[in-house]
Chain A
Amino acid sequence: MLHLFCPYCQEHREEDEFHYRGQAHIVRPKDPDALSDKEWGDYLFFRKNPKGIHHEMWYHVSGCRRFFNVTRNTVTYDIYETYKIGEMPAVTDKEETE
């Protein structure tokens, strides 16, 4: 079981208090009408599935009921950091930033 640090409650809680809510930092296009169908489809449906570092959203559904972000390694299940919505990750994959 994962042990997640909720940045709003400021303490660790067990995984069953949380829900996984998919990839983090997906920005809604400002002008959807200007997008091609492919770009719109990519925004709506296509998600990363990395082997290694992944930034993902979690929901503290049975606690403070806030969304926050987690940087997690999908291979080792290591959790590097958790941070509030609106903040940027401190730990990133090298390839990702290039």
Chain B
Amino acid sequence: MSNSATFDFSARAKNTQGITRRETPLHHVTHKNVDEAGVRFCEASFYAHLTLRGNPENADFVAGVEKVLGTALPLTPLTSRACERCHVFWIGPDEWLILAANLSPGEIETSLRAELTGHFSVVDVSGGQTLMTLSGRAVQQVLQKSCGYDIEAEFPVGKVITTHFAKATVVLHHQVEGSYFMVVRRSFADYVWRWLVDASDEYGLSVSE
């Protein structure tokens, strides 16, 4: 196996003067990239993650969320919506996960709180979990051997499932053909990463920023 490059995750610990040092859950590991990689991994660092709960039968709640996020709430089980600002995943009948790359979680939370009234809950969970993206020609095989879920037959583009990945609970999203989002708890991130290194070994793994 030719090891062409070393990927240093430690670049993902931001230590700007005057700002609190921020570390992604995988900032501490390194990896030697393979030339012909069948699986491509990226830790999408410092996304805003928010858990939103509310009654989907409350029209004011649904309309208010749509106004703030710029996209309607996915009300059908296991579906997702995306717009330029964020991704919204269906987690349960009254629970959604909001992911945003370029917005601060505080910004989203403040605007949701300003818009919504009555019985709802919005919690910033950005520090508690991380987003991994997986792609490459062999990514489906790696997911198939890690999940009990029928990835091949039951997982079209746009679908979101919460399931087991190598015994860890993850939120899996088929983002575009052959590319997946995986939301993992911070405490499981290192374990899932190590599992992925092992599971991807036969196809070759490369890591990118």
Q: Which of A8, A17, A65 contacts B163 (CB 8 A)?
A: A17
Mask: chain A, 60-98; 1 = CB below 8 Å from B; 0 = not: 001111100000000000000000000000000000000
Q: How many residues of A contact B (CB 8 A)?
A: 13
Q: Indicate if the CB atoms of B77 and A16 lie closer than 8 Å.
A: no
Question: Can you add 9 more A-B contacts, CB < 8 Å, to A62-B164, A62-B169?
Answer: A8-B77, A8-B92, A9-B78, A10-B77, A16-B164, A63-B162, A64-B77, A64-B92, A64-B93
B-side contacts of A14, CB under 8 Å? 148-149
For the complex, would chain B's binding face be called helix, strand, loop or mixed by DSSP majority?
A: strand
A-side contacts of B78, CB under 8 Å? 9-11
Q: Indicate if the CB atoms of B92 and A16 lie closer than 8 Å.
A: no
B91 within 8 A of A: yes
What is A's interface to B at a CB cutoff of 8 Å? Answer: 8-11, 13-14, 16-17, 62-66
Q: Which of B93, B148, B163 contacts A66 (CB 8 A)?
A: B93
Mask: chain B, 156-199; 1 = CB below 8 Å from A; 0 = not: 00000111100001000000000000000000000000000000
**Cβ-closest 10 pairs across A and B:** A64-B92, A14-B148, A62-B169, A10-B77, A63-B162, A9-B77, A8-B93, A62-B164, A65-B92, A66-B92
**CA–CA, A14 and B161, complex, Å:** 13
B-side contacts of A13, CB under 8 Å? 149, 163
Q: From residue 116 to 162 of chain B, which have CB atoms closer than 8 A to chain A?
A: 148-149, 154, 161-162
B-side contacts of A10, CB under 8 Å? 77-78
A-side contacts of B149, CB under 8 Å? 13-14
Most buried by B among A10, A64, A65: A64
Shortest CB-to-CB span from A95 to chain B, Å, is 34
B-side contacts of A66, CB under 8 Å? 92-93
